[in-house]
Amino acid sequence: MVKTVRCQLMEDMEGLLEHRIPDVVSTADLPVPLAAEIDFLAGRVDRWLDQSRQVSAAISARSHALIGNSSPARCALAEVDVAAIGPADLAAAAWAASRVGGPTLAPLLGRLEALTDDFINGAAPVGPTTLFTGMLRGTAGDVEGAVADLETAVEIGDVRAPIWGALGRLELGRVLWMAEAVPLGDFGSARPTLTAARTFFAAGGYVSLSQRVAEASAPVRATLQLGRPCIVGFGVQPVVEVRASKGLTALHHLVANSERVVTAAELSVVVDGGDAAELAALMPDAWRQLSDRAGEHDLKRAADDASVALRRVFFDDSTRSRVSKLLRRTIEKLSESCPALGWHLQASVRTGHGCRYCPTGEHVSWQLFEV
């Protein structure tokens, strides 16, 4: 009899999370694990920010990550004992790491891969196992693995309860959206996937989750902040610190002037710490009017109205070679620390006497800073 009552209580609690709208469920008197999951889906995380006897480091990390507090989230993740945490904390830490990255990402992925259950369900249901492995793979740059895992998560989630299928579609859509912005592979369009998630959340009154779909559908954020160190990021891959270099300075200038052709001569001045404004002003008007598709031949033809002295400045082969190699080496290096950004730049940066950033993917929004 006691066992039957306990099972019934567990089913009732799971129903609160899986079949009730979290935004309208009061969690004040619920067990901590269940309350934390419901509040996370509802976007109510103030209660879970500061660690205490009840609030674990993993739950705190996820709460900070949800509201964009990356630094506190990473600090909390550093306190997580990946090998010892239970199911709810494992899921929370994985979600946090998928947003802010950090050294716990690989251990968390390894722990999740070792699980034999398709669905993580401890003191409260937290979702398909592949939901979390897929998120972590996407953050690590394994887009193909992320898409495969998240498609599986959608299938498993749909069988369990609609909320899990919709959450799987949200995360799958985030990865597909980034793949389109790179662009990368033939993974299909993100729009139908995100639309399905948006429709379910909007129809059910999931306000916080609807907002997360809207954020996932916004232009993909690409970040390049110059400083010591520099900070870069792209899409679902969180920002990371990289060593400052002349190549990053050149890329920053190139992206900031994406509306025009930037000559190798100008970039050479920029990376050596000079003021490129005077040199750019010397560029003949015909060069400034080149279209996005202009190539080396068009550039040279447009230079016919320039003086011999100017042509020597703008068509110096040693400058062209130096700048082109610098850009390519820098992009290759970026591919190691932020793969998606490296892939995007490999496809979008043209080099030569005239260089240009022409994004080949879709919906990219750059955040450019100098410190």
* pLDDT for position 7: 42
User: Count H helices, E strands: the chain?
Assistant: 19, 9
Classify domain 2-218 by CATH number. Answer: 1.25.40
Domain ranges of the chain: 2-218, 222-370
pLDDT in tens, 73-117: 999 999 999 999 999 999 999 999 999 999 999 999 999 999 999
Choose among 288, 276, 286, 349: nearest CA to 313. Answer: 276
| pLDDT at position 293 over 80 | no
C-alpha distances out from residue 139 to 106, 189, 220, 290, Å: 10, 19, 14, 37
The separation between the first and the last C-alpha atoms of the chain, rounded to the nearest angstrom, is 66
pLDDT in tens, 192-227: 999 999 999 999 999 999 999 999 999 999 999 999
| pLDDT at position 291 over 50 | no
What's the pLDDT band for 5 if we cut at 50, 70, 90?
very low
What's the pLDDT band for 354 if we cut at 50, 70, 90?
confident
Choose among 240, 129, 233, 235: nearest CA to 175. Answer: 235
Q: Which residues neighbour 64 within 8 Å (Cβ) at sequence distance 6 or greater?
A: 45, 49, 70, 72, 73, 76, 96
Lowest mean pLDDT among 4-13, 18-27, 326-335: 4-13
Which range among 258-262, 301-305, 310-314 has the greatest average pLDDT?
258-262
* pLDDT for position 300: 63
Question: In angstroms, rounded to a whole number, what is the distance separating the alpha carbons of residues 63 and 44?
Answer: 9
* pLDDT for position 2: 35
